[in-house]
């Protein structure tokens, strides 16, 4: 049963506990009148037109359901709801501040916008909680959001001194400060190597352990000073020594890659035939995971040498992009946060 059929036959009064929680989150998110910030002015959606173009054949169908798995401040969601008047959107975000701002932006769409406080690997539970068993589209805009980067108090940006928090959901989880204070030198090195691909990981881990012996490293500025001191002058002239370390800490704090490894297969499993997934990554580690799963699902499983491909061996998905698409020069100049984006998309071709 696809999403449109399910919606036509679903009794809206038959709400689960998860549905009630989603409704409560809608009320909380929309109660943001005390916040003077305009979410539309705070954030420019990346590759907006291309995302709409790729998703349109799937979500323009009557009764279609789309999931914005990384709602942020709701720019992509707003555009989808405006373009498709019969569309229902389920927006997920782990950041309650982002949900509140997006809720205000999307409140004019009423019950067509269902906002859920959730990490995107909880997508299946969120969809079922909203009363659906299939979806017609899903959008992932990965990485740290503009809201998180621009709020100095969150500690994401190495160029701004702030408490070393880095949690996308500030209601739960371990902070970057706690990791720096408790992790062994070996663990710190592994984090910087794996999630930052940092060639000076060992040097930085050793420097952090030595520095914290004199007192905790509590602020981003203090960490930058430690890294600067540990970096050879030739390297300092080539790149900022904190960039990869801060990326690695952020990924570790939020479990981003492990969450993504679960989320992409779960999202693809939810798509009805003809449903489409559009995924934007901003660093190579994310993009490798996305590419691997999309390519795997888009290959025939027929054994080598089989003279005829049986229906059950045909690919589940077909790729809609040739490799990863990049933002054009005009968008890169207009919106610098589009510079590292890599977009991939696929369409479900058959049920398994």
* Segment 84-111, tens digit of pLDDT: 999 999 999 998 888 999 999 999 999 9
Mean pLDDT of 27-53: 67
Enumerate the known binding-site residues for S-adenosyl-L-methionine.
Answer: 74-76, 93, 120, 141, 148
Closest CA to 137 of 47, 52, 210, 27: 52
Q: Contact, 56 vs 347, CB < 8 A?
A: no
Strand order in the sheet with 135-141: 113-117, 88-93, 65-68, 135-141, 271-281, 342-348, 317-319
pLDDT for the residue numbered 240: 87
Enumerate the known binding-site residues.
Answer: 74-76, 93, 120, 141, 148
Closest CA to 137 of 79, 94, 73, 72: 79
Is the pLDDT score of 35 beyond 60?
no
CA distances from 252 to 28, 177, 223, 255, 264 (A): 29, 12, 16, 5, 19
Tell me the domains of the chain and their CATH numbers. Answer: 3-141+256-348 (3.40.50.150), 148-254 (1.10.150.170)
pLDDT in tens, 187-214: 999 999 999 999 999 999 999 999 999 9
């Amino acid at each position: 049963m696809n999403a449109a059929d399910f919606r036509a036959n679903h009794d809206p009064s038959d709400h689960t506990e998860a549905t009630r929680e989603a409704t409560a989150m809608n009320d909380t998110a929309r109660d943001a009148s005390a916040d003077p910030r305009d979410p539309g002015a705070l954030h420019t959606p990346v590759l907006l037109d291309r995302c709409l173009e790729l998703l349109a054949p799937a979500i323009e169908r009557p009764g279609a359901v789309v999931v914005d798995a990384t709602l942020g401040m709701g720019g992509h969601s707003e555009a989808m709801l405006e373009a498709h008047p019969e569309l229902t959107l389920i927006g997920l975000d782990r950041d309650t501040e982002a949900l509140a701002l997006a809720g205000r932006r999307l409140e004019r769409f009423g019950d067509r916008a269902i906002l859920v406080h959730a990490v995107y690997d909880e997508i299946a539970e969120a969809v079922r909680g909203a009363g659906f068993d299939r979806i017609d589209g899903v959008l992932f805009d990965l990485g740290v959001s503009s809201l998180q980067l621009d709020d100095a108090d969150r500690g994401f940006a190495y160029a701004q001194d702030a408490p070393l928090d880095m949690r996308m959901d500030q209601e739960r989880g371990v902070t970057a400060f706690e990791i720096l204070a408790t992790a062994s030198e070996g663990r710190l090195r592994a984090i910087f190597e794996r999630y930052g691909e940092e060639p000076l990981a060992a040097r930085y881990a050793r420097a952090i352990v030595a520095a914290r012996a004199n007192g905790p490293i509590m602020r981003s500025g203090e960490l930058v000073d430690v890294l600067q001191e540990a970096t050879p002058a030739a390297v300092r002239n080539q790149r900022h020594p904190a960039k990869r370390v801060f990326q690695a800490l952020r990924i570790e704090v939020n479990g981003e890659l492990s969450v993504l490894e679960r989320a992409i297969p779960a999202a693809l499993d939810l798509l009805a035939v003809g449903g489409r997934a559009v995924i934007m990554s901003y660093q190579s580690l994310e993009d490798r995971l996305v590419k691997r799963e999309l390519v795997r699902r888009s290959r025939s499983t027929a054994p080598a040498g089989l003279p005829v491909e049986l229906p059950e061996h045909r690919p589940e998905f077909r790729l809609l992009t040739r490799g990863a698409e990049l933002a054009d020069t005009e968008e890169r100049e207009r919106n610098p946060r589009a510079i590292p984006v890599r977009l991939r998309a696929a369409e479900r071709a058959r049920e398994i």
